[in-house]
């Protein structure tokens, strides 16, 4: 029995879902978008059915393709796919880059409000985590520039699961617990591990970079979520002997290659360029 | 995360509440189920590289068709779009798309004019567009088109349509490959390649085409793919001792492309 025959047996779209999951790789998330399109249609049927459902679906998928689909949607939707995350970061940049141009410094709570303009239930916790990257954990009520904030926010949001897992690895290394990956200890690495354990958890020293690097590589081998390229990670961790957690994240935020791979934001020199707004402002 | 929701999650969840029943009714009344089923089948048949973009176009075409019917101009561009979805080497997907394109073009012909088949003028225009979308210049494509296009008034049956479309697609790939071969042979990007080297490569191409045999055009490309780098290197090595001087006669890129094109076109049967 071919897949096509099977599709005709049941008279509802559910079985198509199963068929599609065989043919399309997960990254395209076609099923997710189809599912969401139908759910949205049912929730707002009065708005949509008057224009015809074909037009509704056409607009839905066009907006997905163009990256506008995440505007004013709930947090669970915008974080659901990497395309959605990248689109959201891009839209945040487009909407608020003028702030950067003016050179304004904002507090974490203000950035949180801006995010909630675009996504009503965006969690402040995530904004806090992003702020910690900029401010290296201390004094999260300090002011941040738009540029510093947005690149750190990008890392925190786009690689949320990776950041969480790396945090666990880092804590384990600090406390001297052996991490999930088995590292065959040479006498030097054991020394380094135990000396890391002897330091206080919030010591400035951080952890040994090469051990940290090995642990992260081990994580990435079996990791199901997005993570930065191993080239970038190695580059960052080979540049110093010891590294702190927020130091590592900050380096990721500043890394041009990582930024380009994500594709949501231009590199730093071009971040504040907004020719259309400049024209508008000149008219005033 | 999306991965958890992906496989096998029904749109109608397991609740049997009145809301679910009402939703189902709405979906079938508004024709949503049929619409989705059609879209999903097209998706599975075409297997495009960009499924989201494909769905956007698919629904846009449907809605504009519903609004004002499909004039002829739009049929050609829609047919072309369908043909661009799958590479000709994905044989079943490509053939499906050819079938859809064919039906799109026959629909735009009023029934009384012909006994089925695509109008010759539309067919020739399709082939011209296919060649130019495949990156072929007008002059490169012209000799091929002269052989396979049909008269404006003729009616083109499906098999001929399919052969013509396939030939253009394969030819575009073939020319691209020849361009790569030329670039490999030329010692520097801005200087033309040596004539003897080019001729060695061209004769390897000819040999490969000759061993292809059979009427199936796609085999020509498979044959040219058999020109492994090793074979080209061998041919070049044989030529090399005679071509020691740097300023021997050269062949420029266009001449090479024209010669390579001629080898291919010579094997295409003229449509009468």
Is residue A225 within 8 angstroms of chain B, CB to CB? yes
- Residue B240 predicted with pLDDT over 80: no
Of A116-130, A244-258, B58-72, give the lowest mean pLDDT range: B58-72
- Residue A22 predicted with pLDDT over 70: no
Chain A 117-146, residues with CB within 8 Å of chain B CB atoms: none
pLDDT tens column, A138-179: 666 789 999 999 999 999 999 999 999 999 999 999 888 755
Q: Under an 8 A CB cutoff, do B55 and A30 touch?
A: yes
Is residue A45 within 8 angstroms of chain B, CB to CB? yes
How close B116 gets to chain A, by Cα (Å)? 28
- Residue B236 predicted with pLDDT over 50: yes
Residue A219: the pLDDT is: 94
More confidently predicted of A167 and A276: A167
Query: How far is the C-alpha of A31 from the C-alpha of B63, rounded, in Å?
Result: 21
Whether this model's pTM surpasses 0.80: no
How would residue A4 be classed by pLDDT, with cut points 50, 70 and 90?
Answer: very low
Residue B72: the pLDDT is: 64
Is residue A68 within 8 angstroms of chain B, CB to CB? no
Reduced to 3 states, what is the DSSP secondary structure of residue B149? coil
How would residue B212 be classed by pLDDT, with cut points 50, 70 and 90?
Answer: low
Nearest to B37 by CA among A60, A33, A19: A19
Return the domain boundaries, chain B.
69-266
Of A177-181, A187-191, B167-171, give the lowest mean pLDDT range: A187-191
Q: Under an 8 A CB cutoff, do B11 and A30 touch?
A: no
Provide mean pLDDT across the span B135-156.
84
Residue B229: the pLDDT is: 63
Contact A155, A253 (CB under 8 A): yes
- Residue B95 predicted with pLDDT over 70: yes
How close A242 gets to chain B, by Cα (Å)? 34
How would residue B202 be classed by pLDDT, with cut points 50, 70 and 90?
Answer: confident
Which residues of chain A make contact with B96, given a CB cutoff of 8 A?
none
Sign for the pseudo-dihedral over CA of A107, A108, A113, A119: positive
Is residue A224 within 8 angstroms of chain B, CB to CB? yes
Helices marked H in chain A? 3-9, 14-23, 30-43, 45-49, 53-66, 75-78, 82-102, 108-118, 124-134, 146-158, 160-174, 187-198, 209-221, 230-238, 245-254, 256-262, 275-283
Percent of chain A whose predicted confidence (pLDDT) is above 70:
77
Provide mean pLDDT across the span A39-67.
83
Residue A8: the pLDDT is: 38
Query: How far is the C-alpha of B83 from the C-alpha of B46, rounded, in Å?
Result: 9
What is the DSSP-derived secondary structure letter of residue A137?
A: T
pLDDT tens column, B108-127: 555 555 456 788 888 888 88
How would residue A260 be classed by pLDDT, with cut points 50, 70 and 90?
Answer: very high
Which of A2, A16, A36, A164 would best serve as a mutation to test chain B binding (most B beta carbons within 10 A)? A16
- Residue B138 predicted with pLDDT over 80: yes
Percent of chain B whose predicted confidence (pLDDT) is above 70:
67
Residue A1: the pLDDT is: 27
How would residue B8 be classed by pLDDT, with cut points 50, 70 and 90?
Answer: very low
- Residue A190 predicted with pLDDT over 80: no
Query: How far is the C-alpha of B226 from the C-alpha of B229, rounded, in Å?
Result: 9
Q: Under an 8 A CB cutoff, do A17 and B11 touch?
A: yes
Residue B34: the pLDDT is: 78
pLDDT tens column, A238-254: 999 999 999 999 999 99
Q: Which residues of B touch A (CB under 8 A)?
A: 1-3, 5-12, 23-24, 26-27, 30-33, 35-37, 39-41, 43-44, 47, 50-53, 55-56, 58-60, 62-63, 66
Is residue A29 within 8 angstroms of chain B, CB to CB? yes
Q: Under an 8 A CB cutoff, do A54 and B43 touch?
A: no
How would residue A197 be classed by pLDDT, with cut points 50, 70 and 90?
Answer: very low
Other CB atoms within a 10 A radius of the CB of residue B85 amount to 24
How would residue B29 be classed by pLDDT, with cut points 50, 70 and 90?
Answer: low
How would residue A202 be classed by pLDDT, with cut points 50, 70 and 90?
Answer: very low
Residue A200: the pLDDT is: 43
- Residue B210 predicted with pLDDT over 80: no
Which residues of chain B make contact with A31, given a CB cutoff of 8 A?
5-7, 9
Query: How far is the C-alpha of B197 from the C-alpha of A31, rounded, in Å?
Result: 52
Q: Under an 8 A CB cutoff, do B56 and A58 touch?
A: yes
């Amino acid at each position: 029995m071919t897949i096509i025959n099977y599709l005709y047996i049941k008279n509802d779209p559910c079985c198509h879902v199963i068929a599609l999951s065989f043919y399309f790789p997960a990254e395209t998330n076609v099923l997710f978008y189809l599912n969401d399109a139908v759910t949205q249609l049912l929730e707002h049927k009065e708005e949509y059915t008057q224009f015809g459902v074909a037009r509704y679906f056409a607009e839905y998928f066009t907006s997905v393709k163009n990256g506008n689909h995440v505007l004013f949607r709930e947090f669970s939707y915008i974080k659901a796919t990497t395309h959605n995350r990248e689109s959201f970061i891009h839209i945040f940049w487009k909407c608020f880059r003028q702030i950067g141009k003016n050179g304004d410094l904002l507090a974490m709570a203000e950035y949180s409000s801006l995010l909630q303009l675009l996504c009503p239930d965006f969690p402040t916790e995530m904004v806090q985590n992003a702020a910690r990257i900029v401010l290296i954990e201390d004094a999260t009520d300090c002011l941040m520039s738009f540029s510093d904030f947005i690149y750190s926010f990008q890392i925190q949001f786009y690689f949320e699961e990776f950041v969480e897992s790396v945090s666990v690895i880092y804590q384990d290394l600090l406390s001297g617990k052996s991490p999930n990956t088995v590292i065959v200890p040479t006498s030097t690495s054991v020394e380094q591990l135990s000396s890391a354990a002897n330091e206080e958890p919030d010591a400035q020293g951080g952890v040994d970079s090469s051990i940290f690097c090995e642990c992260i590589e081990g994580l990435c081998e079996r990791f199901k979520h997005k993570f930065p390229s191993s080239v970038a990670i190695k580059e960052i961790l080979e540049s110093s002997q010891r590294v702190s957690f927020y130091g590592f994240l900050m380096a990721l935020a500043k890394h041009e290659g990582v930024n380009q791979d994500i594709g949501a934001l231009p590199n730093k020199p071009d971040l504040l360029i907004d020719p259309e707004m400049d024209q508008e402002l000149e008219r005033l | 995360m999306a991965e958890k929701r992906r496989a096998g999650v029904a749109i109608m969840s397991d609740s049997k509440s009145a809301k679910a029943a009402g939703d189902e009714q709405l979906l079938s009344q508004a024709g949503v189920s049929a619409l989705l089923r059609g879209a999903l089948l097209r998706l599975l048949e075409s297997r495009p590289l960009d499924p989201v973009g494909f769905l956007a176009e698919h629904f846009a075409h449907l809605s504009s068709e519903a609004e004002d019917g499909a004039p002829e101009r739009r049929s050609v561009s829609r047919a072309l779009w369908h043909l661009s979805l799958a590479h000709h080497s994905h044989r079943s997907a490509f053939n499906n798309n050819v079938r859809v394109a064919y039906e799109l073009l026959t629909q735009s012909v009023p029934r009384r004019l012909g006994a089925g088949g695509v109008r010759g003028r539309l067919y020739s225009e399709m082939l011209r567009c296919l060649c130019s979308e495949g990156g072929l210049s007008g002059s490169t494509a012209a000799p091929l088109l002269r052989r396979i296009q049909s008269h404006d008034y003729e009616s083109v049956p499906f098999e001929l349509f399919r052969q013509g479309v396939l030939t253009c697609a394969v030819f575009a790939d073939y020319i691209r490959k020849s361009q790569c071969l030329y670039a490999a042979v030329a010692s520097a990007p801005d200087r033309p390649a040596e004539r003897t080297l080019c001729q060695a490569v061209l004769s390897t191409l000819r040999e490969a085409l000759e061993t292809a045999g059979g009427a199936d055009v796609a085999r020509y490309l498979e044959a040219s793919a058999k020109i492994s780098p090793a074979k080209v290197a061998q041919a070049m090595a044989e030529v090399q001792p005679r071509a020691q001087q740097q300023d021997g006669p050269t062949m420029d890129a266009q001449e090479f492309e024209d010669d390579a094109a001629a080898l291919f076109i010579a094997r295409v049967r003229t449509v009468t």
